[in-house]
Amino acid sequence: MTASKISEQLTHRAEEVAKMLLPNGKRDGSEWRAGSVDGESGKSLGVSIGGSKAGIWTDFATGEGGDLLDLWCATKGIPLHDALSEAKAFLGISEPRFHGGKRTYTPPKKPKCQRPGGEAFQWLTETRKLSEASIQAFQIAIDGEYVIFPFKRGPQKDAEMPMCKRRSMKTKDTRPTSSGQMPCLFGWQAMPDNAREVTICEGEFDAMALMDYGINALSVPFGGGKGEKQAWIENEFESLERFDTIFVCMDSDKVGREGALTIVERLGAERCRIVNLPAKDANDCLIEGVSPELVHKAFRNAVYLDPSELRTPSDYMDEVEWALYPETAPEQSGMIEIPWEHKRQDLAFRSGELVILVGINGHGKSQMAGYLTLEAMRQNTRACIASMEIKPGRLIANMTKQATGQQKPTRGYMGAAFTWYEDKLWIFECTKTAKAERILEVFEYAYKRYGIKWFVIDSFMKCGIDEDDYNRQKWFVERLADFKNEFNVVIFLLAHPRKGETEMKPIEKLDIKGTGAIGDLADTVLTVWRNKPKEEICEKLDNGLPVDFDGEIDDMPDAVLKCVKQRNHPEGIEPKISLYFDRKSLQYRAGPNAKPFHFVKYSGEREEF
């Protein structure tokens, strides 16, 4: 939540907040009066606690003022980021709880460096046109021919430094000083504590140049582009909460535009504005002598992105190419392939799809969803599972069997699996019924903060909607469809079928329990069926009983994954996939003799069970 949203919620409790922050004050009509932000009694400072101006305060002796967050900062002497944390705790606002998805990083190797002087100082001030004030504020140092950029969390000498980069003054070679560092933003050491606006730009020199123009700025660590180039977002998500307005000022080339779009999508189009500078970037503006008036005019003219509904034909180039040339789809459409190679041309999951997975209790819906999720993760797609029927520990234990291909992997192999999960899998823990609205809130947070593109809801009946409330069921599925379209993600919704007379045959699309809108709004509908007739035959054979069967029992599949709707396949194929279940690894394999697949490679000692 941004600072303005927190402030708005504090406004509803303005008198309570005023009393807490200024306990020695007194009520005077529609205001709470105190001597100053130090809290002594008096009337110089007034906080409006009612009416249209509730939450606004002014110290008439000093001219200070602002909203209740500003008052929180002033009375406690803390920066806005800390005030936000305290205010959220006061309001009872907590972040979603996730399991997994925690990367480990290595602190940067600190070079032996010194303050810029001589030729280096001349190069920074005369060639790059940067001021001495910005060089000091951003704590720039020199190591031989390299300019050192410390990515610090604050201005203090001993502030945390999760990343450090160097740039050659001779060759433009730019890179981190060591591997494994945490990607984050450059420039927090120069950021005013209580700033409500910030600019995100593409280079360290650009951030410094913008400071020289009087604009608060932070630089991305790896330039423009999308994907892992903007991996810093998940590490800075909370730090950027405090800013009500984020100006995105990337380079004007294609890579810069790609980076800008990713940043806006993840941080929220409602508070991001795109800046088009008179030159390629901010430092070029400084070098070319662009006046402060023109730069500030570019910021005043910054625009929000066009509404997502307003598109040009070129926006659909990838989808059109995939439809006309399906053989290029995996590379061109962001398509996630299924684990079974012989059926990959018949079934796939595409960005922007809602998939309904239906199955009778005990027929393997959750195991199938976990198996498909592992395959998505193997294809470098980040996943989040809302686990409401199975406790997270059991869910991850089952997935670990599938990931390692073993019933009981060694502890070392289990550890390797957890390392593999670190930046691929998040578990939204909710082992009781969750409100549909909360699920959508958490998924949006997960997409924006972590860039998650694969979501699983296990299951529909645990989303806080009554079985006979068809209107609300339709509303929720519509919201899921809107969500997958807006953020271009894949959503799996696990559903149950209506009660049938038997489990001896696969279920169909019209068997989905609930409103017909579930199947209507889905892009793909899959049913998973456990081959009960085969199990009965095997049980009779094991007990020496006669059976009416003269075929080869091993050729019968253990399960069938049946596609009963696939809207986006170019040829409208709806395949039926016969599968063989390995009970030890919980994997679904393509043939009776197929070996379990190792999603996680492990070079240590491997034990078979």
Cβ(59)–Cβ(39) under 8 Å?
no
Bridge-based pairing of strands 524-530 and 559-566 is antiparallel
Q: What are phi and psi of 497, to 5 degrees?
A: -90, 165
Q: Is the pLDDT of residue 227 over 80?
A: yes
Q: What is the pLDDT of residues 72-91, one digit of tens each?
A: 999 999 999 899 999 999 99
pLDDT level of residue 347 (50, 70, 90 thresholds): very high
Tokens 């069926």 map to which residue? 529
Cβ(564)–Cβ(525) under 8 Å?
yes
The residue-averaged pLDDT of 234-249 equals: 94
pLDDT level of residue 563 (50, 70, 90 thresholds): very high
Query: What's the rounded Cα separation, in Å, for the pair 436 and 477?
Result: 10
Question: What is the pLDDT at residue 571?
Answer: 87
Q: Return all residues near 370 (Cβ < 8 A) that are at least 6 apart.
A: 385, 395, 398, 399, 402, 586
Question: What is the pLDDT at residue 315?
Answer: 60
Question: What is the pLDDT at residue 91?
Answer: 93
Cβ(294)–Cβ(278) under 8 Å?
yes
Residue spans of the domains in the chain: they are 3-94, 118-300, 334-589
Query: What's the rounded Cα separation, in Å, for the pair 4 and 244?
Result: 6
Q: What is the pLDDT of residues 124-151, one digit of tens each?
A: 999 999 999 999 999 999 999 999 999 9
Query: What's the rounded Cα separation, in Å, for the pair 392 and 432?
Result: 12
The residue-averaged pLDDT of 365-379 equals: 97
Q: What is the pLDDT of residues 312-346, one digit of tens each?
A: 676 667 667 766 776 665 444 568 999 999 999 99
pLDDT level of residue 609 (50, 70, 90 thresholds): very low
Query: What's the rounded Cα separation, in Å, for the pair 260 and 378?
Result: 27
Q: What are phi and psi of 445, to 5 degrees?
A: -60, -45
The residue-averaged pLDDT of 87-113 equals: 85
Q: Is the pLDDT of residue 2 over 90?
A: no
Q: Is the pLDDT of residue 206 over 70?
A: yes
Question: What is the pLDDT at residue 607?
Answer: 41
* Start-to-end C-alpha separation, the chain: 49
Class of domain 3-94 as given by CATH = alpha beta
Residue type, 176: P
- The CATH classification number of 334-589 equals 3.40.50.300
Q: What is the pLDDT of residues 21-76, one digit of tens each?
A: 999 999 999 999 999 999 999 999 999 999 889 999 999 999 999 999 999 999 99
Question: What is the pLDDT at residue 370?
Answer: 97
Dihedral angle sign, alpha carbons of residues 305, 306, 312, 316: positive
pTM for this model (two decimals):
0.76
Bridge-based pairing of strands 45-48 and 272-274 is unpaired
Question: Is domain 118-300 annotated with CATH 3.40.1360.10?
Answer: yes
DSSP per-residue letters across 360-392: -TTSSHHHHHHHHHHHHHHTT--EEEEESSS-H
163 Rama sector, left if φ>0, alpha if ψ -120 to 50, beta otherwise: beta
